Structure 1
C-alpha cells in the first residue's frame, strides 16, 4: 500500500472535510431526496435526479477520503530542519532568465494549491528541487520548454 505524505495541517483539513461530508452534506442530500420524492412521479423529477446525483458524488468523495486517510503519512514540519530541500520545506527560487523570485512550500498532493504557494512533492518543480541546497540550480521541464531556477532560500516553518 503506497503511503501518501501530508503535513499535519493538511491532514486536519482533510479530516474536517470528511466530517462535514458525513455529518452535514449527507444529511442535507437525504432531506433533499425526501423532499423531491414528495413531488410525485420520480421518472420525470429533475430535483430527485439532481439530489441522487449529488448523493453519489458525496458518497464517492467520502470513500476516496476514507481510503486516503488510512494511507496518509503525517509529517510534522515543525520538527524538520536543515539546508536541503525536502518535503515540508519552504523554498525560494529565482528564474535565471527572468530573475523573478517565487516561494513555495512543498506539501503532499492532497494539499497542494499553487495560488496559496504550496506545490505537490510530486510536481515537476518539486522533484527537481528535492535534495538540493541554496545556490544549486534546478532545471524543470515545462510545457513551454526548460526553465532553469536557482535556489535562493530554504526554510522550515
Structure 2
C-alpha cells in the first residue's frame, strides 16, 4: 500500500535506544565474571519489564514493547560476543585484564585503586575503568614498582604501580 493511503496515526514510532558503552569494531568484548553476571541480570530485568508492561493504550504498549526489544537486542549482541576472563588464571604480578591496581599518581601521598574491566562494567565512581581506556592501556603488562606515563595535551601524569591483585 502506498504511504499516501496510510493515516499518520497508524505509523509506529521507531524507538530510539541509546547505544551501549563504546566498544570499537574489531575489539574483543572481554568481561569479568561479575561483569557477565551484571549483563545477565540486566537481561532478566528487561524481560520482566517487558512481561509486566502496564500500558492500556495499544499504540503506547507497542512502542514500549519495541523499545525494550531494541534494548534487549543490543544487550544480547553484547552478551553473545562477550568472553569471560578467568581472573584466577591471570599472572599475579603483572597488570592484565581484571587486575585491581593500586596506584600512586604523580607526587600524591595517597594511593588510588582501579580495576581494569569490560566496557559495560566500567564505572570510575566505583573504581572500575575500561580495558580500552588510555589509563588501562598504559598500565597493561606493568609490574609493581613500574611507572606508566599518560601524555596529556599540556602535561604528563605519572602512575606508579604500588600493588596488583585479582
TM-score class, shorter: 0.7 to 0.9
* 2:65 equivalent to 1:55: yes
- Kept after mapping to 2: 8 A contact 1:124/1:141: no
Deviation, 1:68, is 1.2
TM-score by length of 1: 0.79
User: Root-mean-square deviation (CA), in Å?
Assistant: 2.1
After superposition, the Cα gap between the structure-2 partners of 1:146 and 1:56, relative to the gap in structure 1 and judged at 3 Å, is farther
Larger fraction in strand: 1
Partner of 1:36: 57
Q: What's the CA shift for 1:19?
A: 1.8
Among candidates 139, 147, 150, match of residue 137 of structure 1:
147
Deviations 1:80-100 (A, max 9, x none): 332110001110110123333
Q: 1:11 aligns with which of 10, 25, 36?
A: 36
Count of paired positions: 141
* CA separation of 1:100 and 1:55: change in aligned 2, threshold 3 A: farther
Matched, 1:128 2:141: no
Q: Which 5+ residue runs of structure 1 have no aligned equivalent?
A: 43-47
What whole-Å deviation, never above 9, does each CA across 1:58-77 have from its counterpart, x for those lacking one? 22210111111111111121
Give the match's secondary structure for 1:132. Answer: coil
State how far apart, in whole Å, the 2-side matches of 1:54 and 1:77 are: 39
> Within 2, Cα distance between the matches of 1:141 and 1:65?
34
Matches within 5 A, 1:84-123: 84-123=94-133
Q: Is the 8 A contact 2:30 2:85 kept in 1?
A: yes
- Cα contact 2:116–2:136 (8 A) shared by 1: yes
Alignment of 1:80 with 2:101, yes or no, is no
The change in CA–CA distance for 1:130 and 1:53 in structure 2 (over 3 A counts) is same
